[in-house]
């Protein structure tokens, strides 16, 4: 098991927070993508972001190629870093949402009670897989990244950055494409799903299907944008998180 100190990044320590939100990044991304959320969230919430191996400060570690292994790693890290009196919720976007869901099932299977599970930009389990990224050329992976708005063209135009990013994208796309979610007990936790109205990867109907995977409450938020709506619609996303975690929703956005 990875040491929780290596697995998680805590952008802003809030030792007296009553809630912990664990975020799982999307394919090709790292913990730094969510760093600013630490200051945008209510003071009662401490942000923990999973740092996948093979990127940023874990660049020299081998990448994980299996969703089951990734979910187990996250579940173990969450369980071994619990604090008395502090509830835990999970949030994931795209690949991170699938990993968050699988980690939640592991944790609940061990008897844990999660405060909430947030799944963003990810179809409900059971959707047919796409073409395997292991069979895609570099040019096809670059085209996918640019087409869906996740990677700026300037990044791929830089040979050094392209050499760093392509293996990560190929690994993560394969991880998503090879993911199969077997039938298991429904989640007990409440689930909130988010999706963009112009997402070329994920339809609103496919995200609505998450309703069938929880015995708790379910709500769906449809926001304006493409697959990578988290930054442009940041205020609305933070509001969904606050509402799901029972935190006060500020009357105006918090900016630092």
Candidates 18, 81, 94, 192; catalytic one: 94
Number of domains in the chain: 1
pTM, two decimals, is 0.91
pLDDT band at 151 (very low <50, low <70, confident <90, very high): low
For 169-205, how does the pLDDT look when each residue is reduced to its tens digit (9 = 90+)? 889 988 988 888 888 899 999 999 999 999 988 999 9
Q: Is 132 domain-assigned? A: no
CATH code where residue 235 lies: 3.40.50.1820
110 touches 76 (CB < 8 A): no
Does residue 59 surpass a pLDDT of 70? yes
Instruction: Give phi and psi for 156, each to the nearest 5.
Output: -70, -25
In a domain, 236, yes or no: yes
Known active-site residue 256? no
Return the pLDDT at 252: 42
13 in any annotated domain: yes
Domain residues for the domain of 235 are 4-127+183-244
pLDDT one-digit tens code per residue, 100-122: 999 999 999 999 999 999 999 99
Q: Which of 93, 213, 227, 242 is catalytic?
A: 227
Known active-site residue 26? no
Total residue count of the chain as it appears in this document: 256
Strand ranges across the sheet with 218-223: 8-9, 45-50, 19-24, 87-93, 116-120, 191-196, 218-223
């Amino acid at each position: 098991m990875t040491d929780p100190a290596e697995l998680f990044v805590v952008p802003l320590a809030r030792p007296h927070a009553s809630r912990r939100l664990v975020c799982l990044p999307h394919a090709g991304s790292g913990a730094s993508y969510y760093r600013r959320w630490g200051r945008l969230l209510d003071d009662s919430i401490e942000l923990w972001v999973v740092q996948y191996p093979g990127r940023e400060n874990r660049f020299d570690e081998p990448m994980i190629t299996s969703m089951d292994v990734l979910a187990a790693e996250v579940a173990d890290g969450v369980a071994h870093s619990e604090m008395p009196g502090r509830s835990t919720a999970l949030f994931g976007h795209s690949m991170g949402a699938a990993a968050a869901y699988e980690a939640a099932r592991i944790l609940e299977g061990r008897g844990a009670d999660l405060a909430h599970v947030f799944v963003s930009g990810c179809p409900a389990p059971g959707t047919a897989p796409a073409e395997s990224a292991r069979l895609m050329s570099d040019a096809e992976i670059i085209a996918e990244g640019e087409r869906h708005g996740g990677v700026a063209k300037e990044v791929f135009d830089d040979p050094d950055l392209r050499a760093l990013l392509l293996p990560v994208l190929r690994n993560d796309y394969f991880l998503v494409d090879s993911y199969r979610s077997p039938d298991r007990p429904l989640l007990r936790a409440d689930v909130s799903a988010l999706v963009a109205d112009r997402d070329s990867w994920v339809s609103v109907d496919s995200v609505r299907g998450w309703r069938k995977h929880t015995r708790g409450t379910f709500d769906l938020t449809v926001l304006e944008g493409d697959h990578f709506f988290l930054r442009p619609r940041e205020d609305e996303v933070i509001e969904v998180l606050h509402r799901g975690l029972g935190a006060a929703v500020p009357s105006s956005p918090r900016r630092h």
